[in-house]
Chain A
C-alpha cells in the first residue's frame, strides 16, 4: 500500500522503517492500541506539519488583514522526517515508555 503512494524500490523499507519504529515506541512497545495511536499521531503530525496552510486561506485572501504568504507550513518540507523524531523525543521525555505505558526492560 505504501508503494501506491511512493515508488516501489528494493530499499523502500528503509525510508519508512525509522518513522514506523518511532510510531511503535511512541505508542508503547507491546501495546496493540498503542501502536495504532502512535501510528496515527506520527502520520498526522508529519503530514500536517508540512501542510501548506495558505492553500486553505487562499479563498479569503481579500478579507484577511494581512497579505498571505505563499508558503505557510509549520516546518519546511525537507524537515518532514524530523517531525516524527521530535515527537518521539518529546513523548519519551513526558512518558518514558510510550503513551500507553509499554514494556520496559
Chain B
C-alpha cells in the first residue's frame, strides 16, 4: 500500500513536471495554487464522507460562504457607505431581524402561557409570517438605499469590506461556513442518506440565491474585485523592478507557499485524527451507526461535529480560491463545477484515505484544466482527419471542442472507476487477527 501511494504520487509529480514544461512556469504555479486549494476542499469532503459517511451535496454553498467571508473581511473599506445613512438603516434591519427572532422564539414557548397543541402551531406560523414582514419592511429600503450609492461613486453600491488581512478573511470564511454547517446539521442530520443529500443540495441553492441577489452585501453579479493578496502581488514585485514574467511566477510561488503551509498543517491534523480514538469512533459510526449507538456513542452529535469540521475546511478552501482569483462572482458558481467535482476527486482518489483525497484533488483539478486544450487538440485532429478523407472538416469545431472538456473528465472518471473501483488509493482496513 505504501508502495502504491509513493508510485501514484511519483506519477502525479511527473505529470505536473510535464505540464510545467509544456505550459511554462507562470501557468503551472497558477494551476498548483488552485489545485491545492481544491485538494483542501477535497480533504474536507473526505472527512465528511470518508470518515463519517455523510452525504454532503452542498459543497458549493460552503465554498460561496468562504468566498464571501474573505471578500467581507479583506476588501477595502467603502468610505461612501460609512459616510451615508446606510449603516443606520442596516442597524435597523438587524434590530428588526432580532425582533422577529424573539417573536418566533416566544411563539415556540407559547405552551408556558397555556397555548397548546394546534393553537401553538398556528401561533408559530403566524410569528414566522409577522417576523418575515417586519424584516422585509426594514431590509428592502436599506438594500435599495445602499445599492443606489453606486450613482455617487463607482464601486460604492455595497457595504464594502473591513480592509483587514486576507488570512484573517480565510479564517473568517471557515468560521462562517462552520456556523452555517452547525445550523444545517441541526436541521438535516436527523435525515437518512438520500434525504440528507437532497436537503444539502437545497440549502446550497438557497445560499447561492441569497449571496447572488443580496447586492448590497456582496455586490452580487456585479462582482467584488479586485481583492487583496496575502502575499506580495505581481504588481508590487514589478514596482520593485522585476520583469513582468518573473513577477507573476514569484508572486504565485509566494501564494503557493502559504497555501502549502495550510494544506500540510490540515493534512497532518486530519491524518492524526483518522488514526486516533476519534477517527476510529467515526468509522464505527459510518460502518454501523446502530451498533455504535448501542455502545453509548451519541451518533447525531458526532455526525454534527464531523459535518462542521469538514464544512470549515470547505469554507477555507473557497476563501483561498476567491482570494487568489481576486474576484468574488457569486454568479459563477455552478453545482457541476463546485459540488460534483469534489465528489469526483474523493471517489477517484479513494474515500476514507487522506492521501487518496489529496491525490484525487490534485489529479482531477489538473485533468480539468488540461481537458480544455486536450479536447481542442483531439477534435481538431479528428476534423483534420475527416477533411483529409474528403468528407470535409467538422463545422464549428473550435467552439464545439471547448464543450468536450466535460467528456474528457467523464472518460477519466469512468476509466479510474473501471480499473480501481474503490479509488486509486483505497482506504486500508486494518484487521486484528
Contact = CB atoms under 8 A, between A and B. Distances in A.
A79 B213 contact: yes
A96 B205 contact: no
Contact of A88 (B193, B202, B209, B336): B202
Chain B, interface size: which category? Answer: 20 to 34
A103 to B, nearest CB: 9
CB-CB nearest 6 A-B residue pairs:
A85-B202, A82-B209, A78-B213, A88-B202, A82-B206, A25-B198
A79 B188 CA distance: 22
A105 B192 contact: yes
A81 B203 contact: no
B195 A97 contact: yes
A99 interface: no
Given A18-B201, A78-B213, A92-B188, A105 B206 contact: no
Interface string A70-89: 00000010110110111011
Interface of B: 187-188, 190-195, 198-199, 201-203, 205-206, 209-210, 212-213, 336
Interface in A37-91: 76, 78-79, 81-82, 84-86, 88-89
A96 B192 CA distance: 9
7 contacts: A21-B198, A82-B206, A85-B206, A88-B199, A92-B195, A96-B190, A105-B193
A82 B205 contact: yes
Contact of B191 (A18, A22, A29, A92): A92
A105 B185 CA distance: 19
A7 interface: no
A21 B195 CA distance: 10
Interface of A: 14, 18, 21-22, 25, 29, 76, 78-79, 81-82, 84-86, 88-89, 92-93, 96-97, 104-105
B116 to A, nearest CB: 18
A37 B190 CA distance: 24
A96 B198 contact: no
A86 B198 CA distance: 12
Given A18-B201, A81-B209, A82-B209, A96 B191 contact: yes
Contacts of B191: 92, 96
Given A18-B202, A96-B191, 14 more contacts: A14-B336, A21-B201, A78-B209, A79-B209, A82-B205, A82-B209, A84-B202, A85-B201, A86-B206, A89-B188, A92-B191, A92-B195, A96-B195, A105-B194
Contacts of A97: 195
A28 to B, nearest CB: 10
Nearest to B213: A78
From A14, A29, A79, A92, residue with most partner B Cβ within 10 Å: A92
Contacts of B192: 96, 104-105
A92 B201 CA distance: 13
B187 A18 contact: no
Contacts of A21: 198, 201
A25 B194 CA distance: 9
Contacts of B201: 18, 21, 85
A96 B201 CA distance: 16
A29 to B, nearest CB: 7
Nearest to B129: A74
A51 B190 CA distance: 34
Contacts of B213: 76, 78-79
Contacts of B187: 89, 93
B190 A88 contact: no
Nearest to A74: B132
Nearest to A84: B202
Contacts of A93: 187
B272 to A, nearest CB: 33
A29 B202 CA distance: 16
A32 to B, nearest CB: 18
Contacts of B195: 25, 92, 96-97, 104
A48 to B, nearest CB: 15
A40 to B, nearest CB: 18
A81 B188 contact: no
Nearest to A24: B198
B152 to A, nearest CB: 24
Given A76-B213, A78-B213, A92-B188, A85 B194 contact: no
B193 A85 contact: no
Nearest to A77: B213
A5 B199 CA distance: 27
A76 B132 CA distance: 13
A78 to B, nearest CB: 5
Contacts of B212: 78
Contacts of A88: 198-199, 202
A88 B195 CA distance: 10
